[in-house]
Amino acid sequence: MDGIAQPNDQRAQLEKLYGEMAPHSLYPLWEVLANLVTPVPRSVAQPHLWQYGPARDYLLRAGDLISAEQAERRVLILENPGLSGSSAVVPSLYAGLQLILPGEVAPCHRHTQCALRFVIEGDGAYTAVDGERCYMQPFDLVLTPNWQWHDHGNTSDRPMIWLDGLDIPTVRFYDASFAERLEHPSQSESIPAGDNLHRYGRNMRPFRATTAERRPQQQPIFHYPYAQWRESLMAVAGADAPDPHLGHALEFINPANSGPVMPTISAHVRHLPAGFETRPRRATDGTTFVVVAGRGTARVEGREFRLEERDLFVVPSWNALELRAETPLTLFGYSDKAAQEKLSLYREERLPG
């Protein structure tokens, strides 16, 4: 037995070894492997619901205290309670509610982060992307792809509020953040409003031999109007039986490649008929939802949330979601599915009811 460490002696010698290694930034994998390579995802993010009414009140109070120009972006972060201090709604993505008051401009800038805007309230304000404005209506989806100049302005007489969804935590993980601010608050309007939809929005594009491209070939569309996506979703709902785990669901795509709307972010909409209840389903993408219309209930890993119009809630990775519609229920959701699919990480599982 000489030279063979006994259990207590072994532990003491290991701890001594660890203490000597630590100043050299060397650590034993065997002590942490079970937490690094897990059999299934163990997200520290928590299911959570943000009621729109109280969040709106806080946002309007902030509007009385700080201008859009002072703040650069007047936004309330929807921080996941399991990710305190991270400014993240799930580990890879950010969510926030942005307010633009009548007459204000959120100054023009660009950054390496991809961003989407889902309009919650108000109409007539605009987002300008690389010289083209789109005038936003409730429940429109508007993209500001990475490194494209963008500003927001409100020429209406009402407050404008939308959900911001960005890949800030993903870019932070890669230490790849760059940003620039234009010296003028607004960029010049060099392209007619709605041009991206006219040229690229109907499964068409400019004939390249005769017409110069006005939008990047890899990201031609940045406006997905509510009137158009709702018409498509309701047509599908009228033609097909609802999927047992999803209801009726359509995903927004980039027409250039039929892939997700942005390299790191996917977005979709769902509709559930009144009285319909989905069977549980879980997936590896953490998803943030907005209630577009209707009332119902979301059950996430046994936690139940009452849903009202414009409420927001988050479903972390590998948390089973069940939805029940009291009235016809329409949801918008965005997630990191786009990035996960590129990395061959995405999985989903449909569970029995």
Tokens, residue 315: 């479903």
Q: Is pLDDT of 211 > 60?
A: no
DSSP state letters, 290-315: EEEE--EEEEETTEEEEE-TT-EEEE
pLDDT of amino acid 194: 82
Contact 88, 283 (CB under 8 A): no
Residue 237 CB-half CA count within 13 A: 21
Residue-wise pLDDT tens digits, 264-302: 999 999 999 999 999 999 999 999 999 999 999 999 999
Let me know if 236 is exposed, middle or buried by CB neighbors in 10 A (0-12, 13-18, 19+).
middle
Q: Is pLDDT of 120 > 70?
A: yes
pLDDT of amino acid 43: 96
pLDDT of amino acid 312: 98
Q: Which residues pair with 266 in a beta bridge?
A: 335
Mean pLDDT lowest among 51-55, 64-68, 174-178: 64-68
pLDDT of amino acid 87: 98
The overall average pLDDT reported for the chain is 93
Mean pLDDT lowest among 4-13, 204-213, 281-290: 204-213
Q: Is pLDDT of 244 > 90?
A: yes
Residue 1 confidence class, pLDDT cut points 50, 70, 90: very low
Q: Is pLDDT of 5 > 60?
A: no
pLDDT over 90 percentage in the chain = 83
Residue-wise pLDDT tens digits, 123-170: 989 999 998 999 999 999 999 999 999 999 999 999 999 999 999 999
Residue 243 CB-half CA count within 13 A: 13
Q: What would the mean pLDDT of 180-195 be, rounded to a whole number?
A: 84
Beta-carbon neighbour count of residue 180 at 10 Å?
Answer: 11
Mean pLDDT lowest among 11-15, 186-190, 260-264: 186-190
Report the predicted TM-score, pTM, of the whole model to 2 decimal places. Answer: 0.93
Q: What would the mean pLDDT of 201-217 be, rounded to a whole number?
A: 71
Q: What would the mean pLDDT of 163-189 be, rounded to a whole number?
A: 93
Instruction: Decide the pairing of beta strands 160-166 and 312-315.
Output: unpaired
Q: Name the residue type at position 310.
A: R
Place of tokens 């935590």: 169
Residue 208 confidence class, pLDDT cut points 50, 70, 90: low
Tokens, residue 343: 């990395």
pLDDT of amino acid 4: 52
Element (H, E) at 325: strand 321-325
Q: Is pLDDT of 71 > 90?
A: no
pLDDT of amino acid 268: 98
Q: Is pLDDT of 76 > 70?
A: yes
pLDDT of amino acid 213: 67
Domains of the chain (ranges; CATH) run 48-350 (2.60.120.10)
CA distance 167 to 92: 6
What values do phi and psi take at 53, rounded to 5? -55, -55
pLDDT of amino acid 34: 95
Residue 58 confidence class, pLDDT cut points 50, 70, 90: very high
pLDDT of amino acid 99: 96
